[in-house]
Amino acid sequence: MKTLTLFLITLLSLPAWSQAQGDQQARLAEIKRHIESLQQELNQVRDQRDQLLKDLEENEKSISGLHHRIDQIKRELRTRSDKLRELQREQLQLQETRRSMQRRVEQEIAAAYRLGRQEQIKLLLNQQDPQNIARQLRYHDYFLQERTRIIDTYLQTLAALKTVASDIERAQATLGAKRTQLQERQRRLHSAQQNRKRTLDKLVARLADGNGELKQLQGDRARLQKLIDEVGRAIASLVGPGEQKPFARQRGRMRWPVAGRRTNAFGGRRTNGITWKGVTIRAAEGEPVRAIHRGRVVFSDYLRGQGMLVILDHGNGYMSLYAHNRSLTRSLGEWVESGDTIARVGNSGGNSHSALYFEIRHLGKTLDPASWCRS
């Protein structure tokens, strides 16, 4: 661990202002690789309980991925359904245009038939005044041009109808394939959720005595603290945003990351002498989790005990943590604005109900979120 820390500090020790954007991306990629290495170290399997936790992690990561893909497919279905409806409206308009044009074409054909093929000659023979002859010829040319335009428009309408009909057929086929994909993902999700339940039942039985639960809570806290310490050191010299309201000045003004009932108070006793370092907010599964302030994603992955976890760095040593999510929508290195969706509420990390666990930290020390987010 010390070697990893020293390597990260050395890696990021150059002055931030001298680093080009390419260097920033390369350093973020290096940080990601070492965080993954740290995760492997933190999630080592030492006994049967650790193996159950490892199984739970695999189940929950699979569930998170399936939820993410299901959400994507649903968005695609909505977009494609809207496109299909638009095509169908266009088809109806074209059909109405075709009927109207068809009547006009029939009228023009009937008029042409009545006049016969020698229309201009008949007009000349029926007129004696030269001025009337010239005027009638101009009218006749106009009517011929208009007739040609009407027929061309009619043919174009028929061609457009044919194209739209093909587009509708392809759109319907694609929608059918997407619905099949959705059903398959939902079936796999149900299977993964059943596996999670079985693993969680075994874990609960394993932790039936209070001592086992205490050890797990202590282990979860230690892992989170170690991760935050390492991430804090790693990002210390990354280039920050050019313009941003300082996090400290937003105290008491920021919105909570999700609407819901807070089930504990910061600093309250949890169990076996453990106290709460953050707050848990009950919310419906799938509800969007929003960033409380502008920041950079410095962790977006699974951490044992925290489930699907997002950590944002807000500069000047301030961080916010969002745990137990169903799925994550942002990746390491991304900048997010206040109010942006960064995750979806879930129950990962072994929770029995959907809720968001939320912390605010400064230089690694936990702060009461109720003092920072407005009621």
The most confident of the ranges 110-114, 160-164, 168-172, 329-333 is 329-333
Return all residues near 198 (Cβ < 8 A) that are at least 6 apart. Answer: none
Angle at 299 between CA 356 and CA 236, to 5 degrees: 125
SS3 366: strand
Q: Between 297 and 4, name the one with better pLDDT.
A: 297
Q: Between 283 and 225, name the one with better pLDDT.
A: 283
Q: Among the CATH numbers 1.20.120, 1.10.287, 1.10.10, 2.10.25, which is that of 32-206? A: 1.10.287
Domain positions in the chain: 32-206, 244-375
The average confidence (pLDDT) of the chain is 77
Question: Residue 183's CB: how many other CB atoms inside 10 A?
Answer: 11
Q: What is the spatial distance between Cα 72 and Cα 17, in angstroms, rounded to a whole number?
A: 38
What's the pLDDT at 47? 53
What's the pLDDT at 33? 74
307: which 2 tokens?
């489930």
The most confident of the ranges 23-27, 37-41, 51-55, 72-76 is 72-76
Phi, psi (5° rounding) for residue 148?
A: -60, -45
Residue 302: which of 319, 320, 284, 327 has the closest Cα? Answer: 327
SS3 20: coil
What's the pLDDT at 16? 41
What's the pLDDT at 257? 97
* Prediction pTM value: 0.63
Residue 257: which of 299, 293, 301 has the closest Cα? Answer: 293
What's the pLDDT at 129? 55
pLDDT digits (tens, 9 = 90+) for 300-355: 988 888 899 999 999 888 999 999 999 999 988 889 999 999 999 999 988 888 99
pLDDT surpasses 60 at 116: no
Question: Is the distance from CB of 292 to CB of 257 less than 8 angstroms?
Answer: yes
User: Residues of the chain with pLDDT > 70: what percent?
Assistant: 71
Positions of E strands within the chain: 261-262, 269-271, 274-275, 279-282, 288-290, 295-303, 307-315, 318-328, 335-336, 341-345, 355-362, 365-367
Q: Give whole-number Cα distances, 114 to 90, 118, 119, 133, in Å.
A: 36, 11, 10, 20
197: which 2 tokens?
């339940």
pLDDT digits (tens, 9 = 90+) for 58-85: 778 888 888 888 888 888 888 888 888 8
What's the pLDDT at 337? 93
Phi, psi (5° rounding) for residue 365?
A: -90, 135
pLDDT surpasses 80 at 23: no
What's the pLDDT at 4? 44
Question: Residue 337's CB: how many other CB atoms inside 10 A?
Answer: 11
SS3 313: strand
Which letter does DSSP use for residue 256 in this model?
P
Q: Between 278 and 305, name the one with better pLDDT.
A: 278
What architecture is domain 244-375?
Answer: Distorted Sandwich (2.70)
